[in-house]
Amino acid sequence: MNRTMKIALFGPPGAGKGTQAKYIVEKFNIPQISTGDLLRAQVREGTPLGKMAKEFMDKGALVPNEVVIEMMKERISDGDCSKGFILDGFPRALSQAEALSGIVKLDAVVNIVVDESALVRRITGRRMCKCGGTFHVDFNPPKQTDICDQCGASLYQRDDDKEETVLSRLEVYRSQTEPLVEYYGKEDIVHDFDGNRQIDQISSDILGFLSKLEG
Ligand code: AP5
Ligand code: MG
Ligand code: ZN
DSSP-assigned states of every residue in the chain: --S-EEEEEE-STTSSHHHHHHHHHHHH---EEEHHHHHHHHHHHT-HHHHHHHHHHHHTPPPPHHHHHHHHHHHHTSGGGSSEEEEES---SHHHHHHHHTT---SEEEEEE--HHHHHHHHHTEEE-TTS-EEETTTB--SBTTB-TTT-PBPB--TT-SHHHHHHHHHHIIIIITHHHHHHHTTT-EEEEE-SS-HHHHHHHHHHHHHHHH-
Round the average pLDDT of the chain to a whole number and report it. Answer: 95
Q: pLDDT value at position 130?
A: 86
Q: How confident is the model at residue 191 (pLDDT cuts 50, 70, 90)?
A: very high
The predicted-structure confidence for 97-144, as pLDDT tens digits, reads as follows 999 999 999 999 999 999 999 999 999 999 999 888 999 999 999 999
Cis peptide before 91 (omega within 30 of 0): yes
The predicted-structure confidence for 19-65, as pLDDT tens digits, reads as follows 999 999 999 999 999 999 999 999 999 999 999 999 999 999 999 99
User: What does the alpha-carbon distance between residue 193 and residue 190 come to, in Å, rounded to a whole number?
Assistant: 10
Q: At what angle do helices 65-76 and 35-45 cross, to 10 degrees?
A: 100
The predicted-structure confidence for 82-94, as pLDDT tens digits, reads as follows 989 999 999 999 9
Active site includes 126? yes
186 C-alpha to center of ligand 2: Å?
26
Give yes or no for residue 169 CB within 6 A of ligand 1: yes
Q: pLDDT at residue 202 above 80?
A: yes
Give yes or no for residue 30 CB within 6 A of ligand 1: no
Q: pLDDT value at position 215?
A: 76
The CATH code belonging to domain 5-30+83-115+168-214 is 3.40.50.300
Q: pLDDT at residue 3 above 90?
A: no
Q: pLDDT value at position 1?
A: 52
* Residue type at position 119: L
Q: Global pTM?
A: 0.96
Q: What angle (nearest 5°) sits at the alpha carbon of residue 11, between those of residues 9 and 16?
A: 80
Q: Identify the nearest ligand to the CA of 93 by its number.
A: 1
Q: What is the dihedral of CA 148, 20, 10, 168, to 10 degrees?
A: -30
Q: pLDDT value at position 2?
A: 56
- Catalytic residue from among 6, 22, 126, 127: 126
User: What does the alpha-carbon distance between residue 182 and residue 102 come to, in Å, rounded to a whole number?
Assistant: 18
